Amino acid sequence: MKRELPVYRIEGTDFVIDVANLQLSEKANPENVIPLSDMRDVGDGYVFDYSPKEKNIPMLFSDDTDVRTVKIPELVQLDPVGMAEKYGCSIHEMQDKTDFSLMVDQQALGRRLMGQLPTVDIAGHTFYVDIRMDMLRPKDDFLSNGIVFNQIDHFYDDDRKVYTIPYNPKKHEFQDLDYDNITSVPKDLIVISFPHESVLDPIGYNRKGGWDETYGLKETHLKSHFEAKVVDWKETGIEATIQENINKQRKQQNQIKQTGKEQKSGKQQRRGPKL
């Protein structure tokens, strides 16, 4: 049987503690949710502005004057059973835990704070996530250009939160395509997919942005190592682009041939009789 989730009352309204999705959802209206990420983490709980009228955080330009500051306890206090189930520990082990110590991989955190960069395996080669240099830097290959983030920003899928890029496995670097003229799938390139740099190295990303280095780690799932996914070319839509280019080139060739025939026909017509 499904466990009945605990409820926390905010200004007279009951909210279900949804640990699985890290949010509060109104018991009487489950579609009305308050994500944990929209609250301010104050160490021993979470603080946010609350509108009893909207039963949520007020909209940015809301004219609601009855807005109150609300503080709720940590999730380990609101739903210790749910947190123990989600993060694989016993209720006994939960006694001395905080949300941060439970939700953030402490070993990965320690390694990163000691200066160890996260790594990404890309088609069998190790890359360092080097936010300071704005790139994925290949290990033991100083001739490679690597993968520079500001060169691949237009390959980022905001919905899926990943980059999907063409990659040269021999040179260990990003290699763009000539999309206007490509007429076949590149045999020396593959397509890879990996998360945004804020996921690959949230601490380095926070430092670069000037935020507290542990900001957002509870939602990010800090890791020391990632593996890029190899994507089939058929999933990229490149075949449609190739066919368009082939059709375009055929049309241009036919136009050239037709123009040549017309010019030749015109010359023949302009010739006078031999004297």
Task: Note the pTM of the prediction, 2 decimals.
Answer: 0.80
Helix spans in 99-181 (H): 99-103, 106-113
Which residues span the domain enclosing 77? 7-101
pLDDT at 272: 38
On whether residue 251 sits in a domain, the answer given is no
- The residue from 51, 80, 101 where one domain ends is 101
| Residue ranges of E strands in the chain | 7-10, 13-18, 23-26, 33-35, 40-41, 46-50, 68-72, 119-122, 125-130, 135-138, 147-148, 156-157, 162-168, 173-174, 190-195, 225-227, 229-231
Shared-domain flag, residues 50 and 93: yes
233 and 184 Cβ atoms separated by less than 8 Å: no
Within a domain: 264? no
Domain boundary among the residues 68, 101, 134 is at: 101
Are 62 and 171 part of one and the same domain? no
- Closest listed residue to residue 23, CA positions, set 37, 13, 11: 37
Judge if 95 and 110 occupy the same domain.
no
- Site of tokens 């763009």: 176
What is the predicted pLDDT for the residue at 273? Answer: 39
Tell me the per-residue pLDDT of 88-109, one tens digit each, with 9 for 90 and over: 888 888 888 999 999 999 999 9
37 lies in the same domain as 80:
yes
User: pLDDT tens across 208-262, in order?
Assistant: 999 999 988 988 889 999 999 999 999 998 999 999 999 988 888 887 777 766 6
Q: What is the number of structural domains in the chain?
A: 2
Lowest model confidence (mean pLDDT) among 84-88, 114-118, 129-133: 84-88
What mean pLDDT value characterizes the chain? Answer: 91
